[in-house]
Structure 1
Amino acid sequence: MALQVGETIPVFSAIDNHGDLFESTTVIGKKPVVIYFYPKDDTRVCTEQACAFRDQYEDFKALGAEVIGISSDSLQSHIKFVTKYQLPFILLSDFDKKIRRAFGVPNDLLGLIPGRATYVVDKKGVVQMVFDSTSGKIHIEKALEMLKTM
């Protein structure tokens, strides 16, 4: 079942793009967080989305928020993606799709491709916005709009 506005983010852990174990409790419940799920590193729309988050990362930081990207790509893929596009935020490797399932992120394109969804979470760990769209760039605008109202 998909995570809804008003629900608390599940606790999760995964390997980040530095090869370290990331525990969600290190940020969730302490500051606003934007968690975005995307299908695949270094594909056209996913790259546009990641670069749009990169280009506006300082706007997110100014609002006190952290940005976390999640896909099922490997650590090696994330390292290449982060390096190639100079991404300043955390990417998590959800290789077994446990986090995706915990959030209930649906698949796109007749269920063949992992879905694209963005969650804006307040500093208490409660979902304030869920945005599900195949368009990558609009996720950044929607997330910033929500953070400005929190």
Structure 2
Amino acid sequence: MEKLEGLQAPLFSLSNEKGEVVSLEQFIDKKYIVLYFYPKDSTPGCTTEACDFRDAVKDFEELDAVILGVSPDHEASHQKFIEKHGLPFSLLVDEDHAVAKQYGVWKLKKNFGKEYMGIERSTFLIDPSGTVVKEWRKVRVKGHVENALTVLQELKK
């Protein structure tokens, strides 16, 4: 997959944890979007990442940014994950991996000698015009949210 940085973000509409349709377009011309793809609700790395975003959500909101998480999990799983960890942002359902494929994050993965298709943990920072201004692929959770916040702060200066 070629880099998306500098290109228009692929537009999409997905259901959130409440079954409401969330479209990327509803934020364009209004906010920055922190779109993060993660493999699975309630797994250690994904929980840490979600809680790091939760803990920094006010800082992102002050910079006119909205956080959206995307994984292949279903609504009920997202709802449980949000309730358990007090997540103040929507998690979007991409069960058929269509949006993950658009963003080039649906990849062949290897774990314990097994190969399977899954989400490569990635984050895309999209500006109010709908352009991907920064992308992080193969994200390491530790320090990632702080890094994303720093990049956004620099852009807003």
- State the TM-score bracket (shorter-chain normalisation): over 0.9
Residue 42 to residue 5, structure 1, CA distance change in 2 (3 Å)? same
Which aligned segments of 4 or more residues in structure 1 are displaced greater than 6 angstroms? none
In the TM superposition, 1:48-63 aligns within 5 A as 48-63=48-63
Q: Give the Å deviation of 1:90.
A: 1.0
Secondary structure in structure 2 of the residue aligned to 1:107: strand
Aligned to 2:125: 120
> For 1:28 and 1:105, how far apart are their aligned partners in 2?
22
Aligned-pair CA distance for 1:109: 3.6
Q: Residues 107 and 78 of structure 1: is their aligned pair in 2 closer, same or farther, counting only changes over 3 Å? A: same
Structure 1 counterpart of 2:101 = 101
Q: Does the Cα contact within 8 Å between 1:32 and 1:64 map onto a contact in 2? A: yes
Opposite residue 137 of structure 2, the aligned amino acid is: D
Partner of 1:46: 46
Q: Which residue of 1 aligns with 2:141?
A: 136
Shift of 1:28: 2.9
Q: What fraction of aligned residue pairs are identical, expressed as a percent?
A: 37
How far 1:108 sits from its partner (Å)? Answer: 6.3
Q: Is 1:149 the counterpart of 2:145 in the alignment?
A: no
Distance in 2, matches of 1:62 and 1:148, equals: 10
What is aligned with 2:19? 19
How many residues are aligned here? 150
Partner of 2:144, secondary structure, is helix
Secondary structure of 1:56's match?
helix
Q: CA RMSD in A?
A: 1.5
In structure 2, what is the Cα distance between the partners aligned to 1:100 and 1:106? 5
Compare CA radii of gyration and give the structure with the larger one.
2
Q: Which moved more, 1:90-99 or 1:26-35?
A: 26-35
Residue 123 to residue 134, structure 1, CA distance change in 2 (3 Å): closer
SS at structure 1 position matched to 2:41? coil
* Cα separation, partners in 2 of 1:47 and 1:107, compared to 1, 3 Å: same
Q: Which runs of 5+ in 2 are unaligned?
A: none
Give distance in 1, aligned partners of 2:63 and 2:91: 20
1:2 to partner: Cα distance = 4.1
> AA paired with 2:140?
S
* Equivalent in the alignment of 2:81: 81
User: 2: distance between equivalents of 1:123 and 1:137?
Assistant: 27
**Could you tell me how far apart the structure 1 residues matched to 2:51 and 2:10 are?**
27
TM-score normalised by L of structure 1 = 0.93
Q: Given the superposition, is the C-alpha separation of residues 108 and 29 from structure 1 closer, same or farther in structure 2, using an over 3 Å criterion?
A: farther
Structure 1 residues 104-113 or 57-66, which shifts more?
104-113
Relative to structure 1, the CA distance from residue 19 to residue 136 in structure 2 (aligned partners, 3 Å threshold; closer, same or farther) is: same
Alpha-carbon distance between aligned partners in 2 of 1:102 and 1:25, rounded to the nearest angstrom: 15
